[in-house]
Structure 1
Amino acid sequence: MEQPGPIGVFAAYATSRGRALVDRELYLPKSWTEDRDRCRAAKVPDEREFHTKGELAKAMVLRALASPLPIAWVTADSAYGQEGRFRRLLEQSGVGYVLAVPKSQFSVGCPRIDWLFSQAPAEAWERVSCGNGAKGPRVYDWAAIRLPAVAEYDCQDETQVRQRWALARRSPSRPDEIAYCLACSQLDTTVEQLVRIAGMCWTIEECFQATKNECGPDQYEVRRYTGWMRAHHPGHARPRLPGRDGCGIKGGCRNGSRTLVDLTVAEIRRLLAAGRPHGPHPSRCSPRVHALNWSTWRRQRQAVARRCHHQRRLRTI
């Protein structure tokens, strides 16, 4: 069987205004770290030892918490959510989390998380959107269960300050497919807020896609450790840029009475290219004004098409 090779572990920072990759680590399997000649040929530092993906994720979370970034929540897929030490780190750091876990995950008071929801009545499921995607709102059926508190982590002076949750997400079209999450938050956190945070986990995929489109990391190969770390530096990957007027990446902005989609990196490039000196333009207006008018019209039509698509999709759910 072929041994897995090095794998990148990435962290993204997301807000209502935008998202971007902010950190990365390279996971090296034991077949690499135990072969020092192979590591030296790839310019891997001699002090680099084997670390699990969970340990690399913990290091990136600690660096993010030590940075000036305001961080209130952490979300991740089941590869990291199933690690108890990773969840303990977040609890000790005081940040809330919504982490995906496998169905066999142990939870407080029950040996498997899927057993908690196996007998859930129909009224326990509520259809909620966890955010907008490329095809409209991501609507799923959600169920939530409050878990018993762990005094060591959830209480201060014998007073409970945090609440643990177990969440289940079910597809309306495929009800047999159920995903599970463990969450820990402040006492006043609602289920709708937990669902919204769970939906933010998809932003890392959007960052990857936007980075591939703009920076092309899937179009080249690097064979040395220093080359990979340099090529995947977060400063080279700014997938989407929030507008200076405060428009969110997903929300759209208004131009007078018209709603426009937000400016993308490609659209900004077109406008900058139109701002360069050109020869005579066939239209009466200047090339800059023509490009701006054309961009406004195109973004307006895109906003109308997106709104109609979302409404049509909601009617079919």
Structure 2
Amino acid sequence: MSEAEVRALEGELEALCASVDDVFARPASRENLRAMVRGLLSEVPRKNLWQLAEAAGHPNPDRLQGFLAKAAWDADELRDRVRAFAVAALAADDAVLIADETGDIKKGTKSAGVQRQYTGTAGRVENAQVSVHLSYGSGKGRTLIDSELYLGRNWAGTSAEHERRCAEQGIPPERASAVATKPELARRMLERALAASVPFTYFLADEAYGQCRALRAWLEEHHVRYVLAIPKTEVLPLPDGRTRQARELRALVPEETFERRSCADGAKGPREYDWAAVQLAPTAHDLE
């Protein structure tokens, strides 16, 4: 957004920040929150702390670094407030929840969750932090409403080294004892959305989540409608008790049954997919 556009929203931004002032213990933290929000919305070319501090008129990034590293606030309460604000603005009959992940490439080893792992940001294995996010979207717009940091084997374990590293970064013991898979993290965020009565029609995610039978079974048990991508080799249960791979079911469906629909416009035009319905049995956790 241009500086003029940010200034035009000054009243709304102040009202938004004021609505969460009580989450932050100190007045300085509330001021730094406003500086961060305005900087992230502005035309600052790189959203690092040096440039955000410069946009805020600070001589160096010390204030913003201290805010992120040391300031005390209730992160769960802030997350819930942001989710409520977003849902109130974007709720519609076509609203959906979307799970996906993103990675931030890092050079060091101290940041919580950082390790060599695949990240779609780079399209390869890199030293990175990876988080799973839950987005809320409708015809009115879309935004992130929740997130969970992925902790791989370098971080989650029961050794003294695992405990030391996690304690240094403030990672709760319940998160540090065992690796939670990305589908498990998505389920945790869905549980919070359901508990908060977030209105939505479908839960959407790619193959990384769709191939998790435990997640699909949980969705069905909680009557959550979903559209998930799966591998063509995924084994699916049929009403008569048999099972077939997804590609085998695809081959059995007559071509004239498929309907072509566009999910949205992409960089090269409409992104079109062929759809057909096949009746399945409920997903079992231990399906072979």
RCO higher in structure (CA 8 A, sep ≥6): 1
Larger radius of gyration: 1
Classify the TM-score, shorter chain: 0.3 to 0.5
TM-score by length of 1: 0.43
